[in-house]
Structure formats: C-alpha cells, structure tokens
Structure 1
Amino acid sequence: MALNGINMPLAFTGQEIIWRKVYLSLGLTEKEVDEFFTGPAFLAWGRMGNIHTWGGPLSSNWMNEQYSLQLKILKRMRSLGMITVLPAFAGHIPSSLLRVFPKACVTRLGGWSNFNCTYSCSFVLDPEDPLFQRIGGLFMSKLIQEYGTDHVYNADTFNEMTPTSSDPSYLSAVSNAIFKSMVNVDPGAIWMLQGWLFVNNPTFWRPAQIKALLHGTPIGRIIVLDLFAETIPVYQYTESFYGQPFIWCMLHNFGGNHGLFGKVESVNKGPFDALSFTNSTMIGTGLTPEGIEQNDMIYELMNEIGWRSKPVNLTVWISDYSDRRYGQKHPYARAAWQLLLGSVYNCTQDWKDHNHSPLVRRPCLNMNTNICYNKTDLYAAWKLMHQAGTSLANSSTFLYDLVDVTREAMQLLVTEYYQEIKTAYKNEDLERVMTAGGLLVYDLLPELDNLLSSQSQFLLGRWLESAQKMASTKDEAILYDMNARNQITLWGPTGNILDYANKQLGGLIQDYYKKRWRLFLWYLVESLNTEVPFQQSKFNQAVFTVEKGFTYNGKTYSSTPTGDTIAIARNIFIKYFPKK
C-alpha cells in the first residue's frame, strides 16, 4: 500500500477484543457477548450492524491472535507514515444489553438482505440516551489505550438499513452523538463516513436528510468516502457533500468476484472532474473494493491516477503496463491488453454486482446473460494471449493472466451452452438438451477446473487452508472452514445472499458449480421425458441440498497447483476457440 501511495488505510483488525471488554464491563455475560459476534468471514457486516451471530462464535484464541496482529499492523503502518483509521461506536448494540439496561431507549431496524431477526434486525441506541456516550466513550478509551491513535475513526450507523425517522433533526442528532462520543475522548477526532448509504437508498436520503446527517458534525470534521464514484458519484448532486471534505473512491468489485471488469474512462477522468467541480471539497482518491485479489490492472491504474495532474493516455499506458507486468515488450501481449482495455475494462453502464455469468449463479430458465462488452474482442484477446504463451511461459504474471483471460472466455462459452440448452428445452428437443448439457457438464467445466487448478491463486484449497490456519483447535478449524465455504456460496444459513461472493476456483468448479448444473440438466431432461413443466421451486429445494452439502462436507482440497498451465490452456484453446 505504501509503495502505491496509500496513506490512510482502515485498521479494523483486533476490535472485537475491545468490544468484548466493554460489554463485559457493562454487565453482559460471556455467552451474551459471544452470541453477538459473527464468524470471521462475516465480520465486516457484523461491525456495520447488518447481521450478528451467523458464523460465530469467535474464540478467545481468535481474539488474542487478532489483537497481536493489530499491534504489528499498526506499528508497520505508522512506521511508513500512514494515518491509521480505527473503528468507533456507531450506536449498534447487542439485544442482550437491554437485560442490563431495560430502560435504554433503542430503535430496532428491520432485517437486512433476506436475513430474518435470528441473525439481523439491529438495535440502535437513541442518540439522546446517556448510555450512548457511556458506551462510545468506554470503547474509544480502551481502543486508544491499546492501539494508540492517529485521530481518524470510522463509524456507519445506517449502512443498508433505513433509519426509523427521516426527520432532519433526528438524523443530525445521530451524527452529533457519534461525533461527540469521539471528541469526548479524543478532542482532535475526525470521523470517516462511508457514503454508500446515499447510493444504496436514494429515496430516503434526499438533500435534506443528507445535509442533516453531514451537518450534525462541524465542517471539516467528517471525511466522506464517495464510495462508488466511478459509477454513481454522490458529490455531483450534494453540492460536494454540502461542504464536508470527501475522497473520490473506486469501489469496482462487489463480493470479490472473479470476472474481468473495469470502468477505465471513469477512473481516468472522474477524479479530475471532481477536482474542478464547483466549490469542490475533494481531498484525495481511494480504493474501496469488497475483494481485491482480481483485475490487478484496474487497481494499478487507480493508484497511479492519485499521482497524476491530468488523465493518462490510456493507449500508451496499457502498453507500458503490459511491458512492466511481463518484463518485456511483447507485441501479442500488448495487442491483447489493448483489446481488453477497450472491452471488458471499458464498461460504460451502471453495472453493480457485475459478474452475471450463468456459470456462478444457481441455474434457472430466466438467467441474466448480459455482458458489458463485445465478446468478439475478448475472444480476440484470448487468441493473442494464447499466441504469446510460447515466449512468456516463464513469467508468473503472464501465466496468471493467461488463466484469467481463458477463464473469462470459458465463462462466455458457459453462457452460450446455457442459451442453447434453454432454447432446446423450449423447443422440447431432448437430444439437443442432452448434447449441449453433456458438453457443458462433462467436458467444459472439468477442463475449466483443471485450468484453474494449475495456478495457486485460483485454488479452493488455498482459500480454505488460509482460513483453517488461523485455528488453534480442530473445532475452530471446522468452523473457519465452514465460514470460508459459506461466504463464497450460500452466504448465510439458507442462501440469504446466494452466490454474492462467488469465486472461480479449482475444486469449487468441480464440486459445487458442476454439481448444480448436472442437477439442473437432470431436471430438464426429466421434465421433457415426463411432459411435466420444469418447476424452479422443486429444483431450488433439491439444489440447496448440494449447496449446503458443500458447505459442511469437510473435504480436503490441495493448496498445491497441478498440471502445466500452458499445455492445459493450449488444449482448451484448440478445443473451444470459436471457429466463426
């Protein structure tokens, strides 16, 4: 991060041990505290008050390890001159706190994103309740005592949750209470606020409501993250956040999905447009992805823009990028990147949750197959990467990109097979359903699994092993394994945000996506054979057994890549490259 010029990173690790001390000191039992925290894979949403409990509990070992890790993180960040952003109290409390303080004034927000109140429905303390300042002060004091401070704190009360009142005076009181709980302990505190709530719920957050929330704190004491500015820049319709400073952020990726994607024109020009905006309060650029281990190019471009005084020449920049990435000026690689720049990385639509590929969605007969680019450009780039393989085979970055581009092309081929299956089913052509479905399930998907398994960054075993290594006991390892599996598949106990954080990994294709497609094909064939219309609800019940089974089966997957990437990719190219 430091080498890329990032100087104000979030430092959220190790906060649960502080919360635990605060709630125990207020009279909660250890069991009540443990039941409040989510598991490790879902902490981001637990910390924002969206969900609680699911995937937990967190062990004492986990909290102690995270505490030690946070000390190392902070020491390193500060030694590099970074301003660390620590968490603060946003008003969310465990419901069990009402046992100790039955007269506390709270509001109960509705369930979040298909979760019922077993795991959602947050309790938020009224800003005027004296307990608000007591809890906020206790947390800040203990936090600073343990971790020191650089005086910037993050808190988000209404992230993807609708306040109980739209009265501007109430919203001002909430932000004032949050800020007050900071400055009572640290008089120099600055509040960093995510601007996502304004994007997520624009019907609630009208100008009066936004201004009230932002003006509950003195001008200059809130820094707003314009979180999704490459697609929906909020500063444009809020008069530059009504005078509060903001950071122009590229969100880019929802869920850490694999899938080539970017908005290079917006990233290249957007920050400069924001700087020249009337009475602009922009103070910097930032990155806010939900998952960063994908699409390296777009992050490198965004980081570089922060050092520029004007937009770059993208045509020149992408050729230079190819040279740097592979260590040589290779004409095929350069040409491939020019095509990628103008297609997958030049989406001009408002494209949220952008990987709509049928490959990584629960199959049905009305799947969204839209893409944000001309697929012939992607196929042409694939061919060029294939041709570059002979001379770039010793470049680890090239091998990664070869797999990634081939994976993207195969994702398109899955869509083509799906459309053929769908059309054949509609025409009651059983033979064609079985032929297209058989090629998809028994040839293309296994080939894709083999390709992904040849590079360590695309291994399910690596993902799961990383989670299990954090455990100190067998039971802990089982819990962390479940967390890691559930996040990338069901995302919740019943598929609450099904496939939201989908990944394309060797092992996951074979044992999750392939099994779902095989079952879907079986249901379609059965429907045609029996002349009974396909019923999505019955299929959903059956496929949930497959999905849940994967989450809990405990199967071990290798974290070591297998096979020759170049040879596997060549075989796939020869077999599947479109002949038209």
Structure 2
Amino acid sequence: MAELFNVAKGKKVNALGSNTAAITDGITEAGVHWDGGAAPAQAIVDLGGFYRITAATLTTYYGDGRAYQFALYAGVRSSGMTLLYEQKTDEEATAEGYKMTFSAVVARYVKVVMLHNTANPSVHIADLAVYGEECPEYKEEAETAPKADPEDLAYGKPTRANVNDAFSFLVTDGDPESCWLGELYPRFVDVDLLDNYQLSRVVLTAPAFAGFDYSLYLSADGVNFEKAGSLTTTEKKTEAELALEGKTARVLRVLCTGTTQGANGASALCQVKAYGKKAGGEVLPTRKIIEMTTYEEWLRERENVDLSKLKDAKGQYNIQDTYTPADTVRALEGLIGRILGQMYVDWFVFRIDRSMRKNSYELSETENEKILIHADCGVSAATALNFYLKYYCKVQVTQQTKQVCMPEKAPHIAEKVCNSSPYEVRYAYNYCTLSYTMPFFGYDKWQRELDFLMLSGVNLILDLTGMEAVWVSYLQKLGYTADQAKDYVCGYCYKAWWLMGNLEGYGGPVADAWVLDTMEMARVNQRYMTVMGAQPALETFVGAMPESFGTLANAHLKEKGFSDVRPYMAPQGLWAGGFVRPNVLKTSYDGYSYLAKLFYDTQNQVYGQVSDYYCGDVCHEGGIVPADLSKPQMSAKILNELLVADPRAVWILQGWWSNPMKEVLDGFGALKQEHILILDLAALANPKWTNTKTWEGVEFGSTPWIFCILDNYGGRTGMHGKLKKMVELMDNARRKGKVLKGIGITPEGTNGNPVVFDLFWEMAWRTSPPDMDFWLREYAQRRYGLADQASFEAWKLFEKTVYGVESYDGTTKNNVINENASLEMGYCTGGYYKIGYDRELFERGVKTFMEDYEALKHSEGGIYDTVDLLRMTLTIACDDYFEVLKRARALGDRTTFRKYSEKFLSAMKLVSELSTYNEDELLGNWIGRGVDFTEDERTGHYAGFDLDMMAYNAKILLTVWASAPITNYANRQFDGLMDDYFLEMWSRLFKRVNKALKDKTEAPAKLGKECFTVGWAFTKPGKTYRRNAANPEGDGADRGLLAVYRDVKKHMGNREELQSLVKKQDAALKKKKLKEEKAALSSTIATNLEH
C-alpha cells in the first residue's frame, strides 16, 4: 500500500467566514484559523482528484479549555456525501487536534460541519488534514438523473469565478441547495453557454442566509461584457428573474455587488438558469492569452533604436546608449512648452555634458543674452530651469497649480550660478501613492506629474504603471490562461497592496485593454524619465505568488524538471484583518532561480533595462517568514538572483514597522554597501536611522539609506507641515549620516500641501536651511504673482500654526466630519483629531490672507489656498462643535444639541461647497478619470463591465475601503463624497439623537454598523457628479468664493465661547455622575436592609 499523506493540504475550500484558506494551509497554530461565524457552519474541501481516505485530523482554536462538536462527511460529488465521523461530546480542543479514523472511502470532496463551541457562538478551524492515497483506478460515473429543468440553457455548462473557481461549477449543477461562495465582494461567476443564444430571461437563486445584490453582464467573446440589468434577493425571496428581451450572448457574468451580511460578508450564488433559443451566427472564440509586444520591438519602432546592436554577450546594455544629449535637449524644450508656452523655448540654451560632476548645473547667459543651462543630465538641467523660474522670474509650478506670469523678457543673471546636490538619490513615492493619488492617471496627468518631478530634481521614481502586464505575461508563461492570471491582479485602485504582498485579486479583474494600455503608457513615461536622466524603481522578485500557483503552475515546473512546488508555497496569513495575503515561495525550492530569472526577463520585456533600482519587501506589515527558512539565507538568495539579472542592481527596502528585519540585512553581508538602499519611510515623524538597538548601530547598521517624509496617510484632505523642523532634521541627517544616499517623499497620498514639497525639494540642492522669513516671502510672491505684504504676514502666522506644529503621527489630523458618525465620549478618531496649535492665531492668518483676496483670486495658487484655508477653518470648528455635542447628548440637553448639530451640518455643507472650486477635489473627477483614460485616442476598447469596476474601485476606496472594511482610512473632502456619504451619516445620527432627546428616551451614541451600510450604498451606480470646477466669481447656481467666505466667518471667532461651554458641561457631567453614584449606593443599601 502506498504511504498515506495529507491529501487536503493546499486544496480549495468553499465556506463562509474569514480566512477560508487557513483550513487547508497545513498550519495548526490556533491564531491562524478560519472563523466560520455562528454555528452551525460548514466548509467543503475539493481534493482536486479521487483519493481513498481513511483518517483525518481537525485542529480548532485551542488553549482555553474550550471544546467543539462537529461532523465529517466525504463523497465523490459535492452533494450527497456520506457521514464518516461525529464528535458529539465536549472533548477539550488541543494542539494535537481531534483525530479521526474510519473505514476507507473514495472521495473527491470532504465536508466538515461545525456544530458547537463551548466558549462562544462562533466556530473555528485552524487546519483540516485528511489522510489517504491517490485512487487512479476510480472512474467517475456519469449522472443518470434527468435535469430538473430541461429548458435551462446553463445547466451543466462550463463556469469560472475570479475567486474560489474550483467550486464555481455549483451554480450550474441543477442543485438549488449547492452554493458557490467567494470571500468578500464584489466577485463574479461566468457561465459559458458554448453557443450564441437569444436570451429571454435569466433566473438567479441565492442562499437564504442573507440578501444579495447582483449585476448581470452578457458577452459574445468572454472578454467584453455589457450590463444587462440588476437583480436582488432576500432571505425570504431567494430567487430573482431578469427579462432580457432577446439579447444575444454566449457568456453570462453574474457579479455579486452587495449583501445584507454587511462588512466582511461573502459573495454567494446557488444557481444560474438561462432561457432562450439559439441565435446562430459565428461563435467567437474565447481568447486564452493576451499577446504583448516586447520593449525591444517597441523601442525599434518608436525610437528607431536597435537594442541587438547594444547588448553584450549576456544580453545586458546601458540604457544611456539609446539616446543622445540632443534627445535630452528636445525633452527639456518640450517641458518648457508644456509648462510655460512654446514662445519661451527660445529664452534658453541647454548644454548636456555627461562628463560634468554628477547632479550639478551652471546657470549663466550667452553672448546674445539667452539663459544658458549647463548640466550633467536632463534632471539637473530641469532643476536649474526651476531655480531660474522661482528666483528670477518669480513664478511657481507645483503638482496642483502653476503661476507662470512671465516677465516681458528674460531677467539677467548677473553672476554665474553653480550648484550641485549633496544627494545621489532624490526619490519619489510610496507604494500607496500609486493607489491613493494616481490609479487612473492617463497620459496627460502623468506628463504633468513627471514635469513637476523633473523641475524638482527627482531622479528616482517608484513607477509600477504597467505591472499588470508583467504579471499576466509571467503567469501565462507558467501555464496560466489570461483570465487565471488576471484573477491574481488586483483592481484598478488596489495595486499598491497587491504589489506589497498584502492581498490579491480584490477589486478585479482589470480589462485586457488596461493591461496593454498601461504597459504602453509606462513605456512612454519611462522613456521620458530615461532621456532626462531619471530612473523608475521597478519590482524585486521576493517570491510572492498567487494562491493558485501550486495548482496552476505545477505541471509546467515539473516539465522543466523541478520538484512539486506545492510544499514550498508558504501561507502568509491575513492582512488588515480581512484579506488573505498571497503565498510566498520558499527560496529553498529547487526551481526558485528559474522562476526569478523568468520574472526579471519578463519585466525587461515589458519595460526594458531602464533601471538599476528594484523595490520589494519581505513580509510587509506582518507577513510570515516560514519557520523552516533561514532569514539571512532567504534574503541572500533574493539579492543574488536580482544581481544575476542586473549586476548593477540596488534593492530598495522600506523602513516600516519591523522591516527591514536585522536577520534579513545580515544575509546581505558586504553586498549591502553597493546593492541595498533603505527608505526611512517616516524619518520626519518617526525616524529609524537613529535607532541604535534594532540593527546594532545607527543608520540601519551602516546600511545605505535615504531620509523620507511621510506626511499623509490615505490621501486624506487637510493642511499640515512642520517647515522649520523638516529642514532642521534634513540638515542634521545630511551632516551626521555617514551612509546617507539621499532624500525622498513617501506620502501615501500626494496632491496636497504644496508648500511642504516646494521647500523639501529645494533642500535637495542646499547644504543649509534657508532663512524662513525670506523663504516664505519669496514663496508668497511667486505663488500668487504679486509682492504682497498681507499674504506674507498671513504665511508667517501659518508657519507658526498649521505649518509649524507637531501632529500626532506626522501627517494631517483626522477630521471628525470625515469619520463614522459617533458621539461616544471616548470616541476620538484614532486619537488625533485635535489640533496642536492656537486656533485663534490660525484664524487671524486666514482673515489676513483674505484681506487681499481680490488680488489673490487671479492666480491658481490663490484660489487653491483660499479653498484649503477655509475648509481647514471649518473642520477645526467642527472638532470644537463635536466636543459640545458629545456632552450635550450625555446630559440630555436638547436645546444645545440641536443648536450645535445644525452648526456642524452647516459647516459640512460649506466644506463640500468649497471643494467645488478645485477640480482635483471634485468627486466626479476622481471617478471620471477612469472614463477619461478609456476615451483617450491612445487607449483601446473598454466594455461596460470594465467601466463599472473602475467606478466601484474609485468609490469603495474612499469610503469603506473594501468589503473587509478599513473604513474612512482614505477619506477626502470631495464635494459629492461630503454630501452623499459623510453628511448622510451625521444627519442620520443627529436626527435620531434629537428625536430621542425630545421624547426623553435614551439617545443613540453612534450609527455603528449602519455606517458601513451607508458607505456601501454610496458605491452603487446611479448618480453622476460634476466634472467642472465652480467659478470663483460665481456663475449660475454656483456662488462666488467671497459669498462662501461670509458664511465661513459665522464659524470663526467662537473658540473661547465653546471652551467655556465645554467646561460648564464637564462640571454638569461630573455632578450627574456623582448623583447617579449616590443613587446607586442608596439602592444597594436599601436592598441590603430588606434582606
């Protein structure tokens, strides 16, 4: 007899609850488990083939004396299984698990039904091991029973799902009791009818444990899906029908878009039935793979550069050999034309000299009084150009706005200006920036962003545009179909967390056209970087793989002569409480080098050898290093494979949480000095480079690093910055850092606080901090295009308040108005909604600033800052109203509550109105940029499903974040978002509290779970939002900004009044508490006397 082994390990599971993959991951630790919710709950395992099984071990949660009751079933089909074992007694759960033996039975499916937990209502499984041997002689018998509905076109037809695909067949098996389950939502199931049909109707059956919302899409080719309609089921009405009036389709897609389970609920579907008649016509084939051109082909066609003539014997080439200094000059002239206007190109003469000192420039004049910029590369030249524009022409270019009122002729340079950067690296972006700011950036938005970065002197940019193409191409080479590969790729707004190894597939799939279009756009963008002398940071192969990798890539790897990969796939547990992380391939696998090389070859085919910098972390934010793997050996292996692919490579690691682990750095040995670069991600608020214990010495144990500022989480709206402290700490690091390589910005969301970035990037070319008064005066002049005393005086006050005070976590404060509606006394939005500066001093700055509004309004920066300042004024006022409201509810004071709840809501409406004056703060533009991208003549075809998923991604991220919620983490003060989400929540709560206070009943303190319901309802399609910014002068329904300011002033100057009121409320609450305690004591005494 063959040796018995665990035939369930790594196999697919169909179950409700969270972390279903834990059931078969082979990890028996109690903390890494499936939570099935309230008993009874079941899980079905697909063994993937037929096995003769004789024993099993079920490990549950254990360690506190609890016991579980359960039953085990098995069968060759997912229905009609045989009972093998019952645990009916309360036997204590242990680390050894519940061991079961039974008579041998042939099975493909195993089901465990969890019946009881003595500790609490929920049931849990840490691991289910099923022991047996393969049974190749077993032949599955065909079903002989006639199908229940002979007219159902979908019965028995092929299916696929973008999650839990192994169980998608259940929706066409004819059994209304069977059910496909998919973790979280939105998720979908496709049914291929195998021919074209003129459909009359489709009927969906859902399970009865919850209500579900579905969208039905139809396709002729299995790629392009158009929406046919929506369906809803309830716990009592589990069947829903949609009339289709003869629409023709081959493939049906049922997207589960919501459920009454709420947060962390599952997608579910029991049956899909379709009715109609054959339509005739050509049956279009469904594509298996997405074909892609190589970078070498692209460069030859676009730039007439033949890389085959530049490669060495190992296929390596220097990307600098693909362009000339003349190409760089043309790129610089293009930048001037875009930013200033074509007429100003003739003002400048550029000389690019690669033999000059690195990162340096000279500014002078030619004999005919043109401005001569002499630099080592395009980035240095662009920095020189920006210096001239700022300090000679008094103009400004930021990410959001520009003030480019140029003088009539080029100002003279009296004396040559020579400058160089003390930093080898000037780096931009956090992984999160790619999702919180630029998920839908198209060609024009990216060009504007890159122009700003070039002017700022940035020479290393985290740019993972087009990474979808890398992974789809890579997985296709390993045996995946295009659809299977895209199941791993996340949705449009979730790229950051996918590429950091936190989640896979959520929000997807992306369109085929997106894979190709973003690859093309990446090549265009990175060519501009290359010619300018900047590099994109690409991806390091750290072994993160799809959950399906062991199943779908195994045959290919075995054909190549490698071992079975499945035992080498290490589960990584959950991220953020609700997302199953991708597995990690152990570096001990004998095919690891092959897989790493294939990845780098594929990445080069997509991007070319355009960079020597590669990002990627081992076990980001709590991932698990396999216990049987040496961390130093693991990191050494990863680096060595990178250096085989690119001998000049530098691996960039994030200094974040516990990373980089000391043992990981130990694995690099002496190689770290040339090939490792650590981002001290939040060096301003929480520096790690000064830590002397974790890495046995400062500067990460003398590992090269860069000083980064992380001044924003989630892309949240708000003014913030510590200007003086920032430049002081940067200068301190420059002077004391022995292995400091550079500086960088790593905000999770950018496009805010332009003053911070203006100063930060200027420091990249300075060797001492500036005089702040001088710098602020210059800043105000170039920002607004006028030498104005009032705006300068205002900025001096802002530098003492909003741009001068330490915040809780180094980023913008949380705003009460952008949080879940709650009036609990201890509720404080993460502990940092309160400002750390004088509100009255800040408001004095706002009033001073607004004195010159008539002059300021003519500049983009003037309008931008007016909007920012007035919104900040209102959000701070609401924080103070919040303190009053919490206490008024607790005291039962209806009059005060009604008065300040009206003020609170009034201020929220004004915040929304103010956002309409800034096109980047319009919800319609946040959502609409996805549509803009699809309508660009440079992009391909996108169907209705693709556009719907873009909109879902955009709305979900800003509200609940996902159906496994990280609620309001990415909150914004966009106009429509304020009105239809935040205002809706707070209005509901205030209405109920007001009514309760009026009726003298207990007033609710919060909306609780209803906040998620409001948020998810907001994500549904229907309402459209404005795309054009309001006219600051007023136009039609839009008021002028000055009129709005008059209303804002009603919320200013009341700090002292509110503080006095809060003191009185606190005294009253104290008195009330003493009275309640006295009454309770009297009641206790009376009760004791009675006895």
**TM-score, structure 2 normalization:** 0.50
Q: Residue 277 in 1 paired to residue 747 in 2?
A: no
Question: Any idea what SS the aligned residue of 2:538 has?
Answer: strand
Letter in 2 for 1:391: A
Q: Is the 8 A contact 2:714 2:748 kept in 1?
A: yes
Q: Take 2:680 and 2:838, find their aligned partners in 1: how far apart are those partners?
A: 30
Tell me the equivalent position of 2:760. Answer: 302
Residue 343 of structure 1 and its aligned partner are, at CA, apart by 1.2
Distance 1:213 1:109, change over 3 A: farther
Compute the displacement of 1:352 (Å): 5.0
Identify which range, 214-223 or 43-52, moves more after superposition. Answer: 214-223
Larger helix fraction of residues: 1
1:133 deviates by 2.2
Q: Give how far 1:439 is off.
A: 2.8
Q: Is the 8 A contact 1:468 1:478 kept in 2?
A: no
Amino acid in the other structure paired with 2:569: V
Q: CA deviation at 1:122?
A: 2.7
User: For 2:834 and 2:474, how far apart are their aligned partners in 1?
Assistant: 49
Pair 1:416-2:868 in alignment? no
Residue from 460, 483, 501 that aligns with 2:970: 501
Structure 2 residue 1035 is matched with structure 1 residue 578: no
Partner of 1:485: 955
Among 335, 338, 353, the alignment partner of 2:793 is 335
Q: Which residue of 2 aligns with 1:85?
A: 537
Deviation at 1:550, TM superposition (A): 0.7
Q: Check whether the contact 1:166–1:209 (CA below 8 A) recurs between aligned residues.
A: no
Give, in angstroms, the shift of residue 38 of structure 1. Answer: 1.1
**Quick one: which amino acid aligns to residue 35 of structure 1?**
D
Query: Alpha carbons of 1:87 and 1:315: their partners in 2 closer, same or farther (altered >3 Å)?
Result: same
Give the distance between the partners of 1:165 and 1:490, measured in 2 at CA: 32
Equivalent residue, structure 1, for 2:1013:
545
Query: Are the aligned partners of 2:653 and 2:676 in contact in 1 as well (CA < 8 Å)?
Result: yes
**Contact 1:358/1:414 (<8 A) preserved:** yes
Shift of 1:277: 2.2
3-state SS, counterpart of residue 156 of structure 1: coil
Q: Could you say what secondary structure the match of 2:460 adopts?
A: coil
The 1:448–1:146 alpha-carbon spacing in structure 2 relative to 1, beyond 3 Å, is: closer
CA distance in 2, matches of 1:436, 1:103: 61
Letter in 1 for 2:616: A
User: Partners in 1 of 2:973 and 2:585 — Cα distance?
Assistant: 41
For residues 181-200 of structure 1, the aligned pairs below 5 Å read 181-196=641-656, 200=657
Indicate conservation of the 8 Å contact 1:7/1:82, yes or no.
Answer: yes
- 2:842 maps to amino acid: L
CA distance in 1, matches of 2:484, 2:802: 48
Matched, 1:31 2:483: yes
Distance 2:813 2:807 in 1: 13
| Alpha-carbon distance between aligned partners in 2 of 1:544 and 1:37, rounded to the nearest angstrom | 26
Q: Which residue among 989, 994, 1005 is the counterpart of 1:525? A: 994
1:151 to 612, 616, 627: 612
C-alpha displacement at 1:216, in angstroms? 8.5
Cα distance, 1:352–1:297 mapped onto 2, change above 3 Å: closer
Shift of 1:402: 0.4
210-219 or 504-513, larger mean C-alpha shift: 210-219
Q: Please list, as runs of the form range in 1=range in 2, the aligned pairs for 1:10-89 lying within 5 A after superposition.
A: 10-89=462-541
Residue identity in the other structure for 2:592: F
Match of 2:869 among 386, 393, 405: 405
Q: Any residues of structure 2 matched to 1:303-382 within 5 Å, and which? A: 303-352=761-810, 354-364=812-822, 365=824, 366-368=826-828, 369-382=833-846
CA distance in 1, matches of 2:715, 2:746: 11
Aligned pairs for 1:223-234 (under 5 A) are: 223-234=677-688
Segment of structure 1 superposing worse, 324-333 or 131-140: 131-140
- Deviation of 1:190 after TM superposition, in Å, equals 1.6
Q: Summarize the Cα distance change of 1:526–1:30 in structure 2 as closer, same or farther, 3 Å threshold.
A: farther
Q: Secondary structure at the match of 2:674?
A: coil
Work out the percentage of aligned pairs sharing the same amino acid: 24
- Does 131-140 or 212-221 show the bigger shift? 212-221
Give the whole-Å Cα distance in 1 for the aligned partners of 2:1052 and 2:731: 41
CA change 1:216–1:428 in 2 (3 A) is farther
Counterpart AA for 1:508: L
Cα distance, 1:166 vs structure 2: 8.3
- In the alignment, what sits opposite 1:291? 749
Change (3 A) 1:288 1:310: same
Give the 3 Å change call, closer, same or farther, for CA 566–49 of structure 1 in structure 2.
Answer: same
Query: Post-superposition shift, 1:477?
Result: 1.3
SS in 2 for 1:260: coil
Aligned-residue offset at 1:37 = 1.4
Secondary structure at 1:294 match in 2: coil
Q: CA deviation at 1:398?
A: 0.3
- Is the alpha carbon distance of 1:127 and 1:530 closer, same or farther for their aligned partners in structure 2, counting shifts above 3 Å? farther
Counterpart position of 2:849: 385
Q: What residue is the counterpart of 2:1080 in the other structure?
A: none
Deviation at 1:121, TM superposition (A): 2.8
Structure 1 pair 550–216 and aligned structure 2 pair: CA distance change class (3 A): farther
Structure 1 residue runs without a partner (length 5+): none
1:210, distance to aligned residue in structure 2 (A): 5.9
Aligned to 1:240: 699
1:442-472, Cα deviation, whole Å (9 max, x unpaired): x222222222112322211111111232342
Question: What TM-score, normalized to structure 1?
Answer: 0.93
**Mapping of residues 258-277 of structure 1, within 5 Å:** 258-277=717-736
- In structure 2, relative to structure 1, the CA distance for the partners of 1:350 and 1:410 (3 Å cut) is closer
Q: CA deviation at 1:385?
A: 1.9
Identify the range of structure 1 (375-384 vs 400-409) with the bigger mean alpha-carbon deviation: 375-384
Moved over 6 A (4+): none
Q: Which residue of 2 aligns with 1:394?
A: 858
Which structure has the higher relative contact order (CA within 8 Å, separation 6+)?
1
Q: Contact between 1:386 and 1:569, CA under 8 Å: does it hold in 2?
A: no
Separation in 2, partners of 1:492, 1:9: 28
Deviations 1:127-158 (A, max 9, x none): 22133322221111121133222222112222
1:201 matched to 2:658: yes
Contact 2:655–2:680 under 8 Å retained in 1: yes
Residues 570 and 352 of structure 1, relative CA distance in 2, 3 Å threshold: closer
Instruction: Return 5+ residue gaps in structure 2 as ranges.
Output: 1-452, 555-564, 935-941, 1031-1037, 1057-1091
Look up the match of 1:108.
Answer: 571
State the shift of 1:473 in Å.
2.0
2:981 maps to which of 512, 516, 521: 512
The code of the aligned residue for 1:164 comes to V
> Please, which moves more after superposition, 104-113 or 27-36?
27-36
**Alpha carbons of 1:213 and 1:315: their partners in 2 closer, same or farther (altered >3 Å)?**
farther
**Alignment deviations for residues 100-148 of structure 1 (CA, whole Å, 9 cap, x no partner):** 3353412211211122xxx423311112213332222111112113322
What pairs with 1:110-149 in structure 2 (closer than 5 Å)?
110-115=573-578, 119-149=579-609
Aligned-residue offset at 1:249: 0.9
The letter of the residue matching 2:572 is L
Contact 1:173–1:216, Cα closer than 8 Å, also in 2: no
Give the Cα separation in 2 of the matches to 1:408 and 1:135. 51
Which residue in the other structure is 1:459 paired with? 922
- Relative to structure 1, the CA distance from residue 125 to residue 353 in structure 2 (aligned partners, 3 Å threshold; closer, same or farther) is farther
SS in 2 for 1:130: coil
Larger Rg: 2
Cα-to-partner distance string for 1:81-115 (whole Å, 9 max, x where unaligned):
11222212121100101113353412211211122
Deviations 1:455-494 (A, max 9, x none): 3222111111112323422221111111111111111114
Structure 1 counterpart of 2:653, one-letter code: L
1:247, 1:282 within 8 Å by CA — same for their partners in 2?
yes
